[in-house]
Structure 1
Amino acid sequence: MIPIAPIFIRSKEVLEKLSALLDEERFAYGESDSDTIINIAEQKQALLDEMNQLNEKRVNILIKFDVVDRKKPTEEEFKHWLNLQDSSLDNVRLLMNECETLLQVCKTKNNTNARVLNTLQKRNKHLFELLQGHNSKNKVYTSRGSTHPISSKHTLGRA
């Protein structure tokens, strides 16, 4: 029997932690808590690194047992092989499905957080331009085609 169940068990644990971190990240965005946001980003990176290592380990095991092609291993190849196996690998099938579901949840949460962050960045940029006295109507094009605000003599910083 191929020893991949422990890899899926650990992957599931990592994905559950990642999902919880993404919830914390969204809350931190709402609170504008930059220290927490930076801390969460570091934790997310560590979890993603571990997921990559687990995936590499899983692929190497599957290659070792000739389940997938050595030169170009694919997920579909593994899933096809898994579907052909008897019920002794039902636990692996279940774990794999749970991991795929958790991965989709994490992707959705991450995309939501990215949209929240993008909105916050736009808001902060706008507020910064207001503080500098830039008016969104007073912009000129640069030689590269982007816009550049024209400074006003009536800035809040000069008041």
Structure 2
Amino acid sequence: MIPIAPIFVRSKEILEKLSLLLDDERLAYGEVNSQTILSLSEQKQTLLDEMNQLNEKRVNVLIKFDIVDRKNPTEEAFKKWLSLQDSSMDNVRLLMQECDTLLRQCKTKNNTNARILNTLQKRNKHLFELLQGHNSKNKVYTARGSTRPISSKHTLGRA
């Protein structure tokens, strides 16, 4: 028997935790709580690092048991092999499906959070330019071809 089920069990646990962290991150963006956002980011990175280690371990196990090609291990080769196995591997199939579903949910949540963060960054940049007295319509080209605002002598700080 191939010891792959425990790897998928742990992967599922990590993905569930990651999903909850992404929910918390979205709430933190709404509250604009930078400390919470930074803490959640560190927690996410820890989970992602562990997930990468698990994936490496899984690939190494699959290579060791000659399930996937040593030089080019692919997910498709593993899925094909798994589909040919008898019902003793049903638990692994189920765990893999659950992990795929959780992974898709995490990707959707992460993309949503990225859009929220992008919107917040644009808003903060606009507010910062207003404080500096820049008008987004008054821009000039730099030597490199990008644009930069023309600074005003009547900034909010000088008023």
**Range of TM-score over shorter length:** over 0.9
Aligned to 1:144: 144
Distance 2:158 2:31 in 1: 29
Aligned to 1:118: 118
Distance 1:123 1:18 in 2: 27
User: Which string of whole-angstrom CA distances, capped at 9 and with x for unpartnered residues, describes residues 69-97 of structure 1?
Assistant: 00110000000000000000000000000
- Letter of the 1:72 partner, please give it: N
- Counterparts in 2 of 1:93-112, with a 5 A limit? 93-112=93-112
User: Which string of whole-angstrom CA distances, capped at 9 and with x for unpartnered residues, describes residues 123-150 of structure 1?
Assistant: 0000000000000111001111211000
- Counterparts in 2 of 1:29-108, with a 5 A limit? 29-108=29-108
- Letter of the 2:86 partner, please give it: D
Aligned to 1:3: 3
Distance 1:158 1:75 in 2: 61
SS at match of 1:120: helix
What are the ranges of 5 or more consecutive residues in structure 2 without an aligned counterpart?
Answer: none
What are the ranges of 5 or more consecutive residues in structure 1 without an aligned counterpart?
Answer: none
- Letter of the 1:92 partner, please give it: V
Q: Identity over the aligned pairs, expressed in percent?
A: 83
Distance 1:157 1:21 in 2: 39
Distance 1:144 1:30 in 2: 37
1:58 Cα deviation after fit? 0.4
Distance 2:152 2:142 in 1: 18
SS at match of 1:151: coil
TM-score normalised per structure 1: 0.99
TM-score normalised per structure 2: 0.99
- Counterparts in 2 of 1:7-22, with a 5 A limit? 7-22=7-22
Distance 2:145 2:37 in 1: 33
SS at match of 1:155: coil
Distance 2:143 2:114 in 1: 30
Distance 2:15 2:62 in 1: 21
Q: CA RMSD in A?
A: 0.5
Aligned to 1:129: 129
